[in-house]
Structure 1
């Protein structure tokens, strides 16, 4: 069932977990856009028209557990292997043989593993905000548990089913506003303020969020859209991605240290912890992303990169896409 509005098409296509909702604009080579936490297809609203105008079939999905896509009840249904197969199902449902896959935040990791596990489908990969880090090292939850000393890292905080939901769901809109502001260049806490990626013992994440000011990229209308989606769906599907990190580590053992060889792109924000904490991963790109075409770290930019700096990201994306072999 397709629904057309202002040149974009909404539709749902079959996937292993039920269905994936997608938004499509333009014709040409397929570019699949995969969002992160806590977002939606709407995170790509600035990219869809530009990619379409540049001659691409731009398709942004609601990842499993989000928006109008299916939300399987089982926590293990959000493992990386399943999300990769959802991406493959979208490409097939659109009657395409292959696609360029571009992801932001968790979507970047899903995009990287889509390229690694299904290279016959995903011929190149773009990563926004979160660098590619090959599978390896100790069990992820044991690593996160050692971070922060007396404080608790947010990924550890998200592990227990229901715990983060109890913080977020009574005031989804307010929580999202604070979370987006905490990781945005123009509203993030000062460097000497308590880090919003950590929770004090007995506290909540939102204790450290900025209050009363939206970041410049986020209008009240944009916030209304995101809030309405999560008020309808709840947060469990989105949070279940974090609850599968150990399962992914087990599932992907055969790919320990594996590089992603396809033509690739990385764009990060200089003020984003995902970029600064994982600086070693960026330095390792000659080994881990041997097909890297270009890598960019945008000065003065936070985490929500394609929304904070849409014109710059659009130029980088279209230049990279134009240089890829067709």
Structure 2
């Protein structure tokens, strides 16, 4: 078990990877914990975990995934396939002078973390998943699954998969769109039961049509929103949305891993009010088979999607307890 230490200030670095470069923020010394964000976020989503992990005796490193922030943003949409994102994570570990790491992800970062552990068990010795459960590759082509959802309405993933379409909605008012998107999936601001579901788009409509119109969620200050908006106003959204546009490619690339379990020691944290947790309840139920190394599972009552920001203290507690249980 690492020894608690006085946390040093966070530092920013850029390291070479197959993407070209990955920007990261690191704090602390000790065993490496790699933190991978989701959509539409950045390294900043882990701002409340970095100092806590550092104080607990870990070298905590939060990256900007390729396509985000100060990391490289390839123009070719196929550059956002899962195989490439896993290799970025491996390259970050090696660029930091380490051989192994614990990888923890939220949202899309959870899927990237799980696949990093699946494809490179030699590098990633344990995996933490936040909000999005692990579900092995299998079943029909993803685009076909998403196209079948919603009846007369369109599922948001299908909406995001069409190049340029979501950008046309988001980029004229990045800050306002992000505020609505974060609020739509936060426990304290999400639409009431029975209201139109913001995961779906009316034919001819936009996602924004269903965003709540009240204030920001409690976890998000105006200054926090400025940070997120500033990054996407500078980079645009195409890089971030590239992940959605490679899902069929991933399905083909990972055919050899159909049904494969992730066997390393693992953790899952979800929000009870998060559709990622409730819609994928069967994936959680399958963990004895698909995630046999699971050591810690907690679904937080009254919590939405942005779990490490909505419920910082609980998430930090569960993370540090789980990390302390791992062999070094």
Short-chain TM bin: over 0.9
Q: 2:219 matched to which residue of 1?
A: 217
Structure 2 counterparts to residues 54-73 of structure 1, below 5 A? 54-73=56-75
Gaps of 5+ in 1: 1-5
Q: In the TM superposition, what whole-angstrom CA distance separates every residue of 1:147-186 from its partner, at most 9, and x where no partner exists?
A: 0000000000011110000000000000000000000000
Distance in 1, Cα, partners of 2:96 & 2:125: 16
Corresponding position of 1:198:
200
The match for 1:283 is 285
Rounded to whole Å, the distance in 1 between the matches of 2:219 and 2:42 is 15
Specify the alignment match of 1:136 in structure 2: 138
Show the counterpart of 1:319.
321
- Counting only pairs closer than 5 Å after superposition, residues 212-291 of structure 1 correspond to structure 2 as 212-291=214-293
Whole-Å Cα distance in 2 between the matches of residues 169 and 81 of structure 1? Answer: 28
Instruction: Give the structure 1 partner of residue 209 of structure 2.
Output: 207
The count of corresponding residues between Structure 1 and Structure 2 is 321
How far residue 294 of structure 1 moved from its aligned partner, in angstroms, is 1.1
Deviations 1:94-143 (A, max 9, x none): 00010000000000000000000000000000000000000000000000
Report the Cα distance in structure 2 between the residues aligned to 1:72 and 1:53, rounded to whole angstroms.
36
**Paired position in structure 2 for 1:85:** 87
Residue equivalent to 1:304:
306
Aligned to 2:295: 293
2:61 is paired with a residue whose SS is strand
| Separation (CA, whole Å) in 1 of partners of 2:224 and 2:19 | 28
Q: Distance in 1 between matches of 2:11 and 2:160?
A: 34
> Could you tell me how far 1:212 is from its partner in structure 2?
3.1
Aligned to 1:24: 26
Equivalent residue for 1:3?
none
CA contact (8 A) 2:129 2:267 kept: yes
**Per-residue deviation, residues 236-294 of structure 1 (Å, max 9, x unmatched):** 00001000000000000000000000000000000000000000000000000000001
- Residue 17 of structure 1 deviates from its aligned partner by 1.1
Equivalent position SS for 1:302: coil
- For the residue of structure 1 that corresponds to 2:99, the secondary structure is coil
- Cross-structure match for 1:11: 13
Cα drift, residue 47 of structure 1? 0.1
Partners of 1:171 and 1:195 lie apart in 2 by 22
Query: Which of the numbers 35, 40, 43 marks the counterpart of 1:41?
Result: 43
Q: 1:81: how far off? A: 0.1
Corresponding position of 2:180: 178
The CA deviation at 1:65 is: 0.1
Q: Contact 2:189 / 2:214 at 8 angstroms: preserved in 1?
A: no
- d(CA) in 2 for partners of 1:38, 1:291: 29
Structure 1 Cα separation of the partners of residues 152 and 47 of structure 2: 40
Question: How far off its partner does 1:211 sit?
Answer: 1.4
Matched, 1:163 2:150: no
- Distance in 1 (alpha carbons) for counterparts of 2:11 and 2:181: 30
* Unmatched tracts of structure 2, length 5 or more: 1-7
The alignment partner of 2:16 has SS state of: strand
